[in-house]
Amino acid sequence: MPHRMDSEERKAVIAIYPGSFDPVTNGHLDLIERGSTIFDRLIVAIAQNLEKDPLFAVKERVDMLEAVTYNWKNVEVDVFDGLLMDYAREKNALVVLRGIRAVSDYEYELQMAMMNRKIEPQIETVFMMPAIQYSYLSSRLVKELARLGGPVKDLVPVLVEERLRARVK
């Protein structure tokens, strides 16, 4: 009989969704939802100590992400430091999930995925596309809009909208 992978044999697939999440947007949430339906466990991992100058402290980003992902029982929020591949190994993850919005994202994402594969060939990068209405959305633009008093409704969860308003006023 040919070898069959039934659900008892199959390893639970743990995926890491890494990023800055400064702050989490509806585009991130769209990807988290897609990831949570495919993977057994999805760890949303906030990178700390990036060279960027963040608007929100890591703790604030964790709080916001935890609040807005509360309903997905297989999604958790964590923070990591150092190399993503070291962290993914430590978590026994098989997959790194990244979102691709437009062709322009691809070059950087491909470079990162290939470098990560060189560091750890056992871990796969999986790309997913968000819904079309989020294809132009980024945390950077959301912050700029908020700073200049533009509308961020529908781009971020209500909680994030409130925190943004309080932060930039």
Q: Which is nearer to ligand PNS, 144 or 149 (CB)?
A: 144
Q: To the nearest whole angstrom, how small is the minimum distance from the Cβ of residue 152 to ligand PNS?
A: 18
Closer residue to ligand PNS in complex, CB, 81/149:
81
CA dist., res. 169 & res. 164, Å (int): 8
Question: What tokens does 125 get?
Answer: 């990068």
Which region among 12-20, 35-43, 53-61, 122-130 touches ligand PNS (by CB under 6 A)? 12-20
Determine contact, residues 155/137, Cβ cutoff 8 Å.
yes
Q: Does 25 bind ligand PNS (CB under 6 A)?
A: no
Give whichever of 98 and 163 is closer to ligand PNS, judged by the CB atom.
98
CA atoms of 89 and 93, how far apart (whole Å): 6
Interface region with ligand PNS, contact rule CB under 6 A, candidates 33-41, 108-116, 122-130, 142-150: 108-116
C-alpha distances out from residue 61 to 12, 117, 129, Å: 27, 28, 23
Residue 83 sits in the site that holds ligand PNS (CB under 6 A): yes
Residue from the set 15, 16, 17, 18 that interacts with ligand PNS by CB under 6 A: 18
Which residues lie closer than 8 Å to 72 by C-beta, 6 or more apart?
A: 32, 33, 36, 42
The terminus-to-terminus CA distance of the chain in angstroms comes to: 67
Instruction: Cite the active site residues.
Output: 28, 52, 101, 139
